[in-house]
């Protein structure tokens, strides 16, 4: 890619994505300030919001096409027989799909040669622009990235706060995904929120004294303005080119989720859920801030990278911390271990004193953990996962948006985006946290009966999967699952929303059942989602051009399990990181099918609900169908499909080749090649687990051969433990809330008897002093001032006699004055 | 006989000036005061023109006196309008009656 | 002859001024004022400032004084109204005035103007007015016109003219005198012209801006005066 | 300098070596001339007025005194007036009452000092002659106003007030239209202005362009008003104010006012002649050229030519005076408000318009036709006038004369 082409494409992408980013903001502003004129019964706000986000989607899609074109992704290998591809990939390192190592490899087929050639040229260009001497190396970690600055907000000494952009394949893909899902959710919400189109909305969940319900004006436009702002914040986060900007939008996302979760603010549960979500996030953000401060203190910049060949500006974080071949440049051991920073020329960066700049390795770990702490909060990882189920208090479209495309995705996205900054130690922590989260979420989901909460815990579990994948070196697997999960989870949420809407805001699955004939579209679109998340596939069937016949979830989960298996095999001490996800996969299939069967099949448990149930209008089912199509096919081709290939273009350099055992903990990360070797093995195991879970659910809840109640009684204590959500809330209560209360009481006591006493004493002293001061003031100061005033006044008074108001007298005075002046001059200045 | 030099003209100017000042100081008639002002201005004008002739001032003096004449005419017009107003208010043009500003 | 004329004009001007100061009748004052101002214009003519003198006549005597008399006639309540001045005041004013005059005259006499003139002659600045002769010494209207535009024919650029004057000052004086003796002033004028033609008139910013400001000022005064004179009458009518 | 010389002094100075003699002779001659022209018109024009008014009213007018046409009637009237008692009313302010006729006369007389009767035949040849003349003439109003005030009579006061208002107002269009020939000639010197109109009558400034043509009539109207001539004779207005400011006057003082009035009539007519009607030139180019060549041949010829020019000038002025008389007996008197309206609402704007027109006219011609005159070519009707380039043939003797004007005065100044 020549430099001009590079800049041209970068400019095109920048403006397309900027439009897509800013449109929701414009929509938000118009909706907020224009609501006064549109009225509460108007759908104008919704149409505007849909228009904005849909236009954003169009722009993003164009950007995606531009990207595919620019990257020269032909997908030609997908069209061949997948078995042949598998064979071929045995020969080549999977890393050929990314930028690494092209110069050293010979290529068998034409497509690969083209691909390699394009990359080589690009690498040369980038190299030449950066002024490096060695052309043969031809390796630029960030050569497929466009960065730049929109606007510099402020500069305080060394700290530069600016609005940057960082565009690579992941950014473009996330934009397309987010805008598409958001569009669907917006459209869905037009139908779902139509209750609010009134001047007098009766909230049945708010009970006033006297058995009445709370009445308030509808908040249709407010809902949509919040949605628009939410989309704006999320897109800004994705587009952000520096970590500080990410933090800004990170917080904005938090605020929006707060506003939307607490949309029914009069409901106690909703407002406390909003508070909980917000505060939990603050805990994580504390870590984020610590990481931020460490990074800025040691690196002196926030920006991710600077790849613009026209600018020889500052070096970005990613470029500093990784060498050209993507490795950390460390030295020393223990606490003395340092990581050297790299310049753009593949050399060590020199500080002002000439010595190479370096950051202590442990601080790099702390910074990574801090940033990941933010991700824990945002993505509801253990131990901060408890806010997410409570967040179901918001309207269902909000749940769909929060749990699929935006809020929780932000954490995973940031982990993926910040991947170059994470050391193996951090990755291990990430993996374990993800693993625990996945297991906890899945087990709780087994026993929950609220349809939305099932999905919520499922989300926690799946997020844990993603984190696990990222932690064990499966960068692609984790983000792949993020995208596929976004589709099917939003689909399922919208389906549940449709069910809830059809059942008149009944969310308890124990009152549903047999709804399939009543709402067929919802039922079967949800089935697609359930199958997708369960990771089911038709065993053994590998079609040409398509690969395994399965919905999107199969491919992504397959990738995760394969990565985990490889990781476990390379690091036997951490083999738990493979078995727990495997078990969890089975559990996932079980509880998702449980939910589906309980809702749509069997006998109606509550005749009243069943009688009034109805299919939702097209405005709600339309998005379901659209999303279900994507949930089904978006990952076709698996790891060789277009989606994965697209993501591979922006994979960090060091991931593909894996990492040899290193560091204190001796962690080894798998390479693509090794993962590929374990693919089929892991796929079989995962599929097996999923089938087991599905069959058990079928037996329990559809055929009802075994009564679930019996099982519940048998394992009553476990069930109770699970129903109590592993008693996290109680533990937190004991660990944090009660101590805080006790400390608070101590503080009150100290305040009352210690500080207040001192303050009162001081106050009395001040009063005493002031009394004396007043006397002094009155006796001396005032008197002096009065004397001056009186003298002035009496002087002026006596001088009024001269001011006669007579014109002629004044003239006389002037003349006499001049004469006197001259006389005086003559006397005192004789010549 | 020596030609009249600068001092002769300056003397005439001084006399006119002083007479104008006396006029201003003694006339109770507002128009009389105005005439005094005109005299003062003329005294100054004589000086201007005399200096213009007898020093390096050149035409600057003449031009200055022209401006003085023109502005004096303007001043007279405005002053007369004020006198008329004064007359409308007090039914006299005795400036001694205008003592509203007495301290 | 010139001294005689000066005496006549000076006495008329001073006498008119004293008359103004001493008269009690305002119309008599106006008469004396006319005498004084007309004599002043005569002095202007003598000082070689024809244009200023004519302007003085036209504007002061013909315009301003008529205006004053007009004002008197509009505001008098009875025939021959005389607002008498207190004799004590008169004496007081006279004392101050005489003192003032003494001060000013002492200043005038204290300065040696002849020395000043000699200095100027030495610098070659006195005989300058001949540089742009139309017909006579007092015909300064063209010069004033060009001076308003910033071209000063009365102030030639120092360079050539000054050195010329300094070098041949003495000779030049004699030459001029001889010319006058022959009564052929035309030659003298041409001589002047010839000598100064090497120098160029000083070009400066001129008086154009003040001129424009004064003209706008006059317009403002015109409108303002008519407004001031009218407004009160309307109020009276309303009352 | 005030009593500067003219061509006579120039002529004599070439003959003698004495410094004072030419000045003295010239002064005597000019005093005689100005005195004659100041005094005579009163007698002649009063008689003419009586005869013309008589003819207009279909009667004979004076017929007996001095022969057939009664041409000594004015003299007889003058003698009669001199014999009358000099009355001063008890109510009058005697001092001002006595002085005011002299002011009027002095103003009118002084104006004649600046009026050239022929080329160079002028008492004071000032570069700003027109300006000074107008300034001096404007002093006349003071006398009238003082006369009206000092008479101690309501009629007189009203007359004086009217005169003051009228004069002050009409000076504006008068000045504006008088400036138009100045613009055309590029000089305020009346001699220069007159000499520029030599040649064919098309060179006269009245025919220079449409604006100057109209300007002449505005100027003439304004002069009527400033002379208190009918239809603007509000100051004396016999039918309303008895005789206006003249009411209390009698005898010699009364005759002085009349003397001044008729002298001023002649003066403004002469001014109009010089400014617009070619002055002392005949308006016939061959004749003018012959006169000019005669003047440059010898000093006697110069003198003769000047005398001829004076005759031409007097004739033209006399015709204008007759027109004034004619108008007086033809048009009825206006009311005072009509007088002021005519001036302020019509004449002033028209004069402003004409002034702008005259200034813009050559520029427009230059833009449209490429030259500053309407008629093309160099024929007899296209003398280069109005472009600040006087006719060379005519100019020659004048330059000599004017250059010498200051000679004696300068000598006086420089005499040590």
Tokens 């089911």 belong to which residue? A536
> Which CATH architecture describes the domain B6-97?
Orthogonal Bundle (1.10)
The H or E element that residue A569 is part of is helix A552-570
The predicted structure's pLDDT at residue A81: 42
Q: Hey, CA dihedral for A565, A569, A575, A579, is it positive or negative?
A: positive
What are all long-range contacts of A310-314, with beta carbons under 8 Å and residues at least 24 apart? A310/A7, A310/A129, A311/A148
pLDDT in tens, A549-577: 678 888 888 888 888 888 888 888 888 88
CB contact under 8 A, C100 and A823: no
List the single residue in A816, A826, A831 with the smallest CB-CB distance to C96.
Answer: A816
The H or E element that residue A669 is part of is strand A667-669
List the single residue in C27, C28, C141 with the smallest CB-CB distance to D188.
Answer: C141
User: In terms of Cα–Cα distance, which of A540, A12, C34 is closest to D144?
Assistant: C34
Question: Which residue has better confidence, B4 or D179?
Answer: D179
CB contact under 8 A, B102 and A812: no
> Would an 8 Å CB–CB cutoff place A83 in contact with chain B?
no
Average pLDDT, chain C: 69
Mean pLDDT of C189-217: 66
The predicted structure's pLDDT at residue A793: 93
Distance separating alpha carbons of residues D51 and D57, to the nearest angstrom: 10
Q: Which of A793, A796, A805 to mutate to test the interface with B (most CBs of B within 10 A)?
A: A805
A638 contacts: CB under 8 Å, gap ≥ 6: A547, A548, A555, A558, A559, A644
CB contact under 8 A, A823 and C97: no
CB contact under 8 A, C103 and A818: yes
Q: What tokens appear for C28 in the block?
A: 């008599």
Average pLDDT, chain B: 82
Question: Chain A: nearest CA to C221, how far in angstroms?
Answer: 23
* A-C Cβ pairs (cutoff 8 Å, strict): 19
Mean pLDDT of D115-121: 77
Say whether both A717 and A819 belong to one domain: no
The predicted structure's pLDDT at residue C199: 54
Question: Chain B: nearest CA to C184, how far in angstroms?
Answer: 22
List the single residue in A799, A805, A812 with the smallest CB-CB distance to B25.
Answer: A812
Tokens 């000494």 belong to which residue? A157
Task: Answer whether residue A734 shows pLDDT above 80.
Answer: yes
Question: Chain A: nearest CA to B1, how far in angstroms?
Answer: 30
The predicted structure's pLDDT at residue B4: 67
Give me the residues of C, 133-172, that contact D with CB < 8 A.
134-139, 141-142
Task: Answer whether residue D389 shows pLDDT above 60.
Answer: no
> Would an 8 Å CB–CB cutoff place C81 in contact with chain D?
no
Domain span at residue D310? 88-408
Question: Chain C: nearest CA to B59, how far in angstroms?
Answer: 7
- Decide if D414 is inside a domain: no
Secondary structure in 3-state letters for D363-412: HHHHHHCCCCCCCCCCCCCCCCCCCCCCCHHHHHHHHHHHHHHCHHHHHH
> Would an 8 Å CB–CB cutoff place A801 in contact with chain B?
yes
Task: Answer whether residue A412 shows pLDDT above 60.
Answer: yes
Distance separating alpha carbons of residues D217 and A580, to the nearest angstrom: 120
Q: How far apart are the first and last CA of chain A?
A: 95
Cβ-Cβ contacts under 8 Å, C99 against chain A: 819
pLDDT in tens, C96-145: 888 888 888 888 887 777 666 666 555 554 444 433 333 445 666 777 77
Cβ-Cβ contacts under 8 Å, D24 against chain C: none
Question: Which residue has better confidence, A798 or A656?
Answer: A798
Q: Tally the domains of chain D.
A: 1
Say whether both A356 and A401 belong to one domain: yes
Distance separating alpha carbons of residues C147 and D79, to the nearest angstrom: 55
Say whether both A215 and A83 belong to one domain: no
The predicted structure's pLDDT at residue C231: 54
Q: Which residue of D has its CA nearest to C76?
A: D149
Distance separating alpha carbons of residues A178 and A409, to the nearest angstrom: 10
Q: Which residue of B has its CA nearest to C38?
A: B42
Label residue A762 by pLDDT band (50, 70, 90). very high
Domain span at residue C21? 1-77
Q: For residue A564, list its beta bridge partners.
A: none
Q: Do chains A and C touch (3 or more CB pairs under 8 A)?
A: yes
Phi, psi at residue A34, to the nearest 5°? -95, -5
Tokens 């043939």 belong to which residue? D393
Distance separating alpha carbons of residues A445 and A442, to the nearest angstrom: 5
Tokens 């006719």 belong to which residue? D391
pLDDT in tens, D196-222: 777 777 778 888 788 888 999 999 999
**Cα torsion at A749, A752, A754, A756 (round to 10°)?**
160
List the single residue in C29, C43, C59 with the smallest CB-CB distance to B9.
Answer: C43
Q: For residue A156, list its beta bridge partners.
A: A159
> Would an 8 Å CB–CB cutoff place B35 in contact with chain A?
no
> Would an 8 Å CB–CB cutoff place C91 in contact with chain A?
no
pLDDT in tens, A604-653: 777 877 777 788 888 888 888 888 888 888 877 777 777 887 888 777 77
Could you count the other beta carbons within 10 Å of the beta carbon of residue A298?
17
Mean pLDDT of A754-758: 90
Contact A72/A18 with Cβ under 8 angstroms? no
Task: Answer whether residue C168 shows pLDDT above 60.
Answer: no
Q: Tally the domains of chain A.
A: 5
Distance separating alpha carbons of residues B82 and A807, to the nearest angstrom: 14
CB contact under 8 A, B24 and A805: no
**Weakest mean pLDDT among A328-337, A389-398, A808-817, B77-86:** A328-337
Phi, psi at residue A312, to the nearest 5°? -100, 55
Question: Which residue has better confidence, D16 or A530?
Answer: A530
The predicted structure's pLDDT at residue D380: 45
Q: Which residue of C has its CA nearest to B7?
A: C108
Say whether both A813 and A794 belong to one domain: no
CATH number of the domain where residue C45 is located: 1.20.120.1200
Q: For residue A149, list its beta bridge partners.
A: A164
Q: What tokens appear for A354 in the block?
A: 């000439």
Q: Do chains B and A touch (3 or more CB pairs under 8 A)?
A: yes
Distance separating alpha carbons of residues A688 and A692, to the nearest angstrom: 6
CB contact under 8 A, B26 and A808: yes
Mean pLDDT of D240-247: 77
The predicted structure's pLDDT at residue D376: 59
Q: Tally the domains of chain C.
A: 2
Say whether both A375 and A506 belong to one domain: no
Average pLDDT, chain D: 76
Alpha-carbon distance values, D209 to D197, D198, D274, D372 (Å): 14, 17, 17, 11
Could you count the other beta carbons within 10 Å of the beta carbon of residue A201?
18
Say whether both A482 and A607 belong to one domain: yes
- Decide if D203 is inside a domain: yes
Cβ-Cβ contacts under 8 Å, B78 against chain C: 221, 224-225, 228
* Touching chains, C (3+ CB pairs < 8 A): A, B, D
Mean pLDDT of C58-83: 74
List the single residue in A808, A818, A826 with the smallest CB-CB distance to C100.
Answer: A818
CB contact under 8 A, C92 and A812: yes
Question: Which residue has better confidence, A177 or A705?
Answer: A177
CB contact under 8 A, B103 and A811: no
Cβ-Cβ contacts under 8 Å, A819 against chain C: 96, 99-100, 103
- Decide if D21 is inside a domain: no
The predicted structure's pLDDT at residue C128: 42
- Decide if C147 is inside a domain: yes
Alpha-carbon distance values, B71 to A510, B19, B67, C104 (Å): 104, 21, 6, 25
Characterize C113-152 residue by residue with b for buried, 16 or more Cβ atoms within 10 angstroms of its Cβ, and e for exposed: beeebeebeeebbbbbbbbbbbbbbbbbbbbbebbbeebb
Label residue A73 by pLDDT band (50, 70, 90). low
CB contact under 8 A, B18 and C101: yes
Percent of chain A with pLDDT over 90: 6
Tokens 């013909």 belong to which residue? C62
Question: Chain A: nearest CA to B97, how far in angstroms?
Answer: 8
Contact D407/C185 with Cβ under 8 angstroms? yes
Question: Which residue has better confidence, B66 or D239?
Answer: B66
Cβ-Cβ contacts under 8 Å, A812 against chain C: 92-93, 96
User: In terms of Cα–Cα distance, which of A489, A180, A142, A190 is closest to A309?
Assistant: A142
Say whether both A277 and A404 belong to one domain: yes
Could you count the other beta carbons within 10 Å of the beta carbon of residue A212?
10
- Decide if D51 is inside a domain: no
Domain span at residue A780? 731-800
Taking each helix axis from N to C end, the angle separating D129-137 and D154-185, rounded to the nearest 10 degrees, works out to 170
Label residue A548 by pLDDT band (50, 70, 90). low
Say whether both A820 and A683 belong to one domain: no
List the single residue in D19, D167, D406 with the smallest CB-CB distance to C136.
Answer: D406
List the single residue in A815, A826, A831 with the smallest CB-CB distance to C100.
Answer: A815
Task: Answer whether residue A315 shows pLDDT above 80.
Answer: no
Question: Chain A: nearest CA to B28, how far in angstroms?
Answer: 8
Q: Hey, CA dihedral for B31, B36, B41, B43, is it positive or negative?
A: positive
Contact B48/B67 with Cβ under 8 angstroms? no
Question: Which residue has better confidence, C59 or D394?
Answer: C59
Chain A interface with C: residues with Cβ < 8 Å: 808, 812, 815-816, 818-819, 822-823, 826, 831
List the single residue in B24, B27, B101 with the smallest CB-CB distance to A805.
Answer: B101
């Amino acid at each position: 890619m020549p430099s001009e082409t590079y800049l041209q494409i970068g400019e095109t992408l920048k403006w397309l994505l900027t439009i897509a980013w800013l449109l929701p903001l414009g929509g938000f502003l118009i909706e907020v300030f224009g609501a006064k004129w549109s009225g509460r019964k108007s759908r104008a706000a919704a149409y505007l919001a849909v228009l904005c986000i849909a236009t954003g989607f169009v722009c993003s899609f164009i950007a995606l096409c531009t990207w595919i074109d620019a990257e020269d992704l032909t997908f030609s290998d997908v069209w061949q027989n997948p078995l042949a591809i598998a064979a071929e990939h045995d020969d080549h390192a999977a890393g050929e799909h990314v930028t690494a190592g092209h110069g050293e490899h010979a290529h068998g087929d034409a497509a690969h040669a083209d691909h390699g050639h394009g990359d080589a040229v690009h690498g040369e260009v980038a190299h030449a622009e950066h002024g490096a001497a060695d052309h043969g190396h031809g390796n630029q970690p960030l050569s497929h990235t466009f960065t730049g600055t929109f606007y510099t907000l402020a500069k305080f000494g060394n700290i530069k706060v600016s609005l940057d952009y960082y565009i690579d394949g992941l950014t473009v893909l996330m934009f397309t995904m987010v805008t598409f899902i958001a569009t669907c959710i917006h459209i869905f919400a037009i139908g779902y929120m139509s209750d609010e189109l009134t001047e007098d909305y009766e909230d049945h969940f708010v009970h006033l004294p006297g058995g009445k319900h709370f009445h308030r004006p509808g908040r249709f436009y407010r809902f949509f303005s919040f949605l628009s702002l939410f989309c704006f914040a999320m897109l800004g986060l994705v587009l952000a080119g520096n970590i500080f900007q990410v933090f800004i939008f990170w917080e904005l996302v938090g605020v929006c989720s707060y506003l939307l979760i607490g949309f029914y603010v009069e409901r106690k549960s909703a407002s406390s859920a909003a508070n909980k979500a917000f505060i939990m996030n603050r805990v994580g953000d504390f870590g984020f801030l610590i990481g931020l401060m460490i990074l800025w203190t040691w690196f002196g910049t926030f920006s991710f990278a600077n790849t613009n060949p026209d600018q020889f500006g500052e070096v970005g974080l990613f470029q500093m911390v990784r060498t050209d071949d993507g490795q950390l440049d460390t030295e020393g051991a223990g606490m003395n271990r340092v990581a050297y920073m790299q310049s753009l020329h593949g050399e060590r960066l020199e500080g002002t004193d000439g010595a190479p700049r370096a950051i202590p390795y442990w601080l790099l770990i702390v910074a990574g953990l801090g940033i990941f702490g933010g991700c824990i909060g945002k993505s509801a990882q253990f131990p901060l996962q408890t806010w997410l189920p409570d967040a179901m208090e918001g309207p269902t479209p909000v749940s769909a948006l929060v749990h699929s495309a935006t809020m929780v995705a932000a954490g995973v996205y940031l982990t993926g985006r910040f991947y170059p900054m994470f050391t193996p130690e951090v990755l291990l922590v990430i993996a374990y946290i993800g693993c625990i989260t996945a297991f906890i979420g899945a087990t709780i989901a087994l026993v929950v009966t609220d349809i939305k909460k099932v999905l919520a815990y499922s989300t926690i579990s799946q997020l844990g999967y993603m984190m696990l994948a990222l932690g064990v070196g499966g960068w692609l697997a984790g983000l792949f699952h993020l995208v596929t999960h976004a589709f099917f989870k939003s689909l399922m949420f919208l389906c549940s929303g449709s069910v809830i809407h059809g059942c008149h805001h009944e969310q308890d699955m124990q009152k549903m059942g047999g709804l399939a004939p009543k709402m067929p579209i919802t039922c079967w679109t949800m089935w697609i989602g359930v199958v997708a998340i369960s990771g089911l596939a038709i065993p053994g069937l590998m079609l040409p051009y398509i690969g395994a016949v399965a919905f999107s979830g199969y491919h992504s989960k397959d990738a995760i399990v394969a990565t985990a298996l490889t990781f476990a095999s390379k690091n036997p001490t951490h083999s738990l990181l493979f078995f727990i996800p495997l078990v969890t996969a089975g559990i996932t299939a079980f509880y998702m099918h449980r939910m589906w069967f309980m809702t749509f099949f069997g006998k109606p448990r509550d005749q009243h609900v069943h009688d009034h149930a109805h299919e939702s209008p097209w405005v709600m089912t339309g998005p379901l169908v659209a999303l279900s199509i994507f949930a089904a096919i978006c990952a076709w081709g698996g790891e060789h499909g277009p989606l994965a290939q697209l993501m591979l273009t922006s994979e960090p350099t060091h991931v593909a080749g894996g990492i040899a055992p290193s560091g204190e903990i001796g962690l080894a990360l798998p390479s693509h090649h090794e993962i590929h070797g374990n693919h089929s093995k892991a796929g079989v195991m995962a599929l097996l687990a999923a089938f087991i879970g599905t069959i058990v659910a079928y037996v329990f809840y559809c055929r009802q051969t075994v009564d679930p109640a019996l099982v519940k009684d048998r394992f009553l204590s476990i069930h109770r433990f699970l129903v109590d959500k592993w008693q996290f809330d109680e533990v937190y209560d004991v660990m944090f809330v009660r101590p805080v209360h006790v400390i608070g009481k101590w503080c009150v006591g100290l305040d009352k008897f210690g500080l207040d006493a001192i303050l009162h004493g001081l106050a009395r002293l001040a009063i005493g002093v002031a009394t004396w001061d007043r006397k002094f003031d009155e006796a001396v100061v005032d008197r002096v001032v009065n004397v001056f005033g009186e003298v002035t006044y009496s002087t002026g008074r006596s001088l009024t006699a001269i001011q006669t108001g007579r014109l002629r007298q004044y003239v006389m005075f002037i003349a006499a004055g001049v004469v006197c002046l001259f006389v005086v001059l003559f006397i005192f200045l004789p010549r | 006989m020596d030609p009249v030099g600068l001092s002769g003209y300056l003397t005439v100017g001084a006399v006119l000036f002083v007479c104008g000042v006396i006029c201003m100081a003694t006339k109770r008639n507002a128009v009389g005061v105005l005439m005094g002002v005109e005299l003062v201005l003329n005294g100054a004008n004589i000086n201007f023109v005399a200096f213009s002739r007898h020093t390096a001032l050149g035409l600057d003096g003449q031009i200055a006196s022209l401006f003085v004449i023109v502005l004096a005419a303007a001043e007279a017009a405005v002053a007369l309008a004020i006198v008329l107003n004064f007359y409308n208010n007090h039914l006299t043009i005795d400036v001694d009656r205008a003592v509203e500003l007495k301290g | 002859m010139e001294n005689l004329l000066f005496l006549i004009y000076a006495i008329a001007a001073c006498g008119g001024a004293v008359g103004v100061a001493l008269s009690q009748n305002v119309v008599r004052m106006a008469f004396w004022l006319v005498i004084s101002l007309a004599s002043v214009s005569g002095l202007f003519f003598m000082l070689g400032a024809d244009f200023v003198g004519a302007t003085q006549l036209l504007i002061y005597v013909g315009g301003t004084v008529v205006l004053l008399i007009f004002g008197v006639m509009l505001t008098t309540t009875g025939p021959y109204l005389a607002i008498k001045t207190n004799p004590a005041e008169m004496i007081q004013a006279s004392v101050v005035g005489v003192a003032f005059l003494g001060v000013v005259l002492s200043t005038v006499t204290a300065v040696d103007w002849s020395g000043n003139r000699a200095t100027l002659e030495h610098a070659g600045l006195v005989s300058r007015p001949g540089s742009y002769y139309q017909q006579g010494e007092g015909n300064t209207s063209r010069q004033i016109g060009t001076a308003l535009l910033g071209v000063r024919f009365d102030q030639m650029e120092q360079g050539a003219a000054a050195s010329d004057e300094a070098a041949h000052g003495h000779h030049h004086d004699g030459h001029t005198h001889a010319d006058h003796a022959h009564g052929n002033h035309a030659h003298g004028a041409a001589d002047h012209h010839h000598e100064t033609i090497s120098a160029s008139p000083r070009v400066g910013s001129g008086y154009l801006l003040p001129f424009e400001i004064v003209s706008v000022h006059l317009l403002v005064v015109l409108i303002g005066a008519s407004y001031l004179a009218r407004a009160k009458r309307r109020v009276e009518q309303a009352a | 300098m005030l009593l500067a010389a003219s061509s006579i002094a120039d002529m004599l100075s070439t003959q003698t070596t004495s410094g004072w003699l030419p000045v003295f002779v010239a002064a005597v001659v000019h005093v005689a001339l100005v005195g004659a022209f100041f005094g005579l018109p009163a007698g002649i024009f009063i008689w003419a007025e009586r005869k013309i008014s008589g003819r207009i009213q279909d009667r004979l007018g004076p017929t007996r005194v001095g022969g057939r046409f009664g041409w000594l009637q004015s003299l007889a009237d003058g003698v009669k007036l001199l014999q009358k008692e000099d009355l001063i009313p008890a109510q009058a302010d005697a001092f001002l009452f006595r002085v005011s006729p002299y002011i009027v006369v002095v103003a009118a007389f002084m104006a004649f000092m600046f009026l050239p009767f022929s080329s160079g035949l002028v008492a004071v040849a000032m570069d700003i002659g027109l300006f000074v003349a107008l300034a001096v003439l404007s002093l006349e109003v003071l006398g009238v106003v003082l006369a009206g005030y000092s008479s101690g009579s309501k009629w007189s006061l009203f007359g004086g007030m009217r005169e003051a208002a009228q004069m002050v107002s009409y000076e504006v269009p008068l000045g504006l239209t008088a400036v138009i020939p100045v613009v055309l000639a590029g000089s305020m010197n009346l001699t220069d202005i007159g000499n520029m109109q030599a040649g064919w009558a098309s060179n006269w400034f009245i025919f220079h362009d449409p604006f100057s043509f109209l300007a002449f009539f505005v100027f003439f109207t304004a002069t009527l008003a400033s002379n208190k001539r009918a239809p603007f004779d509000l100051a004396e207005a016999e039918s309303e104010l008895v005789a206006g400011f003249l009411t209390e006057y009698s005898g010699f003082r009364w005759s002085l006012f009349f003397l001044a009035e008729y002298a001023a009539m002649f003066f403004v007519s002469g001014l109009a002649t010089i400014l617009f009607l070619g002055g002392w030139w005949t308006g016939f180019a061959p004749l003018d050229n012959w006169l000019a060549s005669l003047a440059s041949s010898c000093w006697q010829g110069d003198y003769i030519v000047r005398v001829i020019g004076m005759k031409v000038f007097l004739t033209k002025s006399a015709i204008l005076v007759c027109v004034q008389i004619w108008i007086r007996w033809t048009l009825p008197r206006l009311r005072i408000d009509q007088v002021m309206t005519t001036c302020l609402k019509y004449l002033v704007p028209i004069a402003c318009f004409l002034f702008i027109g005259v200034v813009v006219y050559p520029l427009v011609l230059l833009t449209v036709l490429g030259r500053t005159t309407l008629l093309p070519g160099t024929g007899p009707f296209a003398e280069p006038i109005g472009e600040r380039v006087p006719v060379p043939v005519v100019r020659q003797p004048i330059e000599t004369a004017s250059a010498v004007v200051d000679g004696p005065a300068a000598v006086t100044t420089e005499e040590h």
